[in-house]
Amino acid sequence: MIVTTSLKESFRNVRAQSLRICQPLQPEDFVVQPITDVSPPKWHLGHTTWFFETFVLSRQPGYQVYNRDYNFLFNSYYESIGARVVRTDRGNITRPGAEAIIAYRKHVDQAMEAFLESDAADESEVAKLVELGLHHEQQHQELLVTDIKYILGNNPLFPAYQTRPSSLVADEIHVRAAQYVEIDEGVYSVGYDGEGFCFDNEQGRHRVYLHPFGISDRLVTNGEYLEFIQDGGYKHFGHWLQEGWEWVKRESVQSPMYWHQIDGEWHHYTMNGLQKLNGAEPVTHVSFYEAEAFARWKGKRLPTEFEWEVACEQMRKGKATEGNFLESGRLHPTAPARPDDDQLLGNVWEWTNSAYLPYPYYRKAEGALGEYNGKFMINQMVLRGGSCATPQSHIRPTYRNFFQTDKRWQFTGIRLAESI
């Protein structure tokens, strides 16, 4: 839940954060779209503004739409709202420029703040819609961070987003051995059950039966993943699912995204620029294929999303004592995580071995907002936990992120599990 004193203050804080994320960028950075998955930063700024204008302001009597062409430019995937620019062409939107889009944001922000001071904003359904818009923008703030990293990380000069001191120096931290927290066999309840905000795909709290299992109390590190590479991990088909092995061969994959071997040494691109690989940091920017292959090589497996959620809840309630799965501090995207102070929440998105499917009792909302999550429930896998790029108030144990099996531009990592 967004924790602020009022909906208006929440609105101001969230909207301002999107602009803060973009402050270090140069004008050319706002337009680039290197791959389909990455949207230009200025498109994110326009789309999140369009969301409030379309779903809140346009429904209010007397509001005049800022620019009718913007519905075509900034509609993402809402079929019921009308035609839109093909996703692969977002990088072709050289105009309007970033300054024009920021002017659009100011216009909508002023109208929204005036609206939030009116009696109409007190209606519960309207307030829920505004809150959804804020969480929607927080999702795009995470996308902004990861898309900016991809844009800069594929620049031949590997420029830094911004330079900050690292909180962890390579070879100075001893990585302790992973311990496996044991969770008893039983029937457990999963899914959101609370008063605060959640997305519709978290709803439909239901019971699941779990066999006894163990789950690692820390994430897999760069050093451990390097051992997989050095042992021929990307050269032996026996570690891989067939689809994953075909992906490795087709894409000539030899390491996680942003890893580069230079003069015999491994480096990786970070938000601080190109740096020597730190073996103590959690490995990140790996696909589901890579996570599953590493787990198989290690003689372990990935947890299911239900195992992950139950383990997290057990830790929060103190019913299991080994390890530290709780959020104990936030990581800025430029700051690495400490393996000896691990957490299930807010470090990297953790691949699970669960397909993204609707929960029992799931009901798609009526109208355009029903397109938000439900229509993507096919050919994707669930990730849990949030990452260092996820806004803190946006994280919760039941949050279900989802991506296709080959995606790795997000801060995706690995936590191992085992059957008992």
The model's pLDDT over 10-57, given as tens digits with 9 standing for 90+, comes to 999 999 999 999 999 999 999 999 999 999 999 999 999 999 999 999
Residues 211 and 351 in one domain: yes
Q: Is residue 166 part of a domain?
A: no
Q: Is residue 293 part of a domain?
A: yes
Q: Is residue 233 part of a domain?
A: yes
Angle between the N-to-C axes of helices 7-22 and 98-116, in degrees from 0 to 180, rounded to the nearest 10: 170
Q: Is residue 171 part of a domain?
A: no
Residues 139 and 216 in one domain: no
Q: Summarize the confidence of residues 284-299 as an average pLDDT.
A: 98
| 216: CATH | 3.90.1580.10
Place of tokens 């953790």: 350
Q: Is residue 121 part of a domain?
A: yes
Residues 189 and 289 in one domain: yes
Q: Could you tell me the residue range of the domain that residue 31 belongs to? A: 7-153
Q: Is residue 167 part of a domain?
A: no
What separation in angstroms does the CA of 55 have from each of 40, 60, 112, 131? 23, 10, 11, 12
**Pair of tokens at residue 373:** 């999550």
d(CA 253, CA 245): 10
Residues 185 and 149 in one domain: no
Residues 254 and 139 in one domain: no
Residues 198 and 261 in one domain: yes
Residues 98 and 192 in one domain: no
pLDDT band for position 167 (cuts 50, 70, 90): low
Residue 368 class from Cβ within 10 Å (0-12 exposed, 13-18 middle, 19+ buried)? middle
- Residue 340: per-residue pLDDT: 40
Residues 210 and 138 in one domain: no
- Phi and psi torsions of 372, nearest 5°: -60, -50
- The number of residues making up the chain comes to 420
Q: Is residue 16 part of a domain?
A: yes
pLDDT tens per residue across span 231-253:
999 999 999 999 999 999 999 99
Place of tokens 């429930």: 377
Going across the sheet that includes 349-355, the strands are: 401-403, 381-384, 349-355, 412-413
Residues 130 and 225 in one domain: no
Global pTM reads 0.92
- Strand 180-183 vs strand 186-190: parallel, antiparallel, or unpaired? unpaired
Angle between the N-to-C axes of helices 288-297 and 222-230, in degrees from 0 to 180, rounded to the nearest 10: 70
Query: What's the total number of domains in the chain?
Result: 2
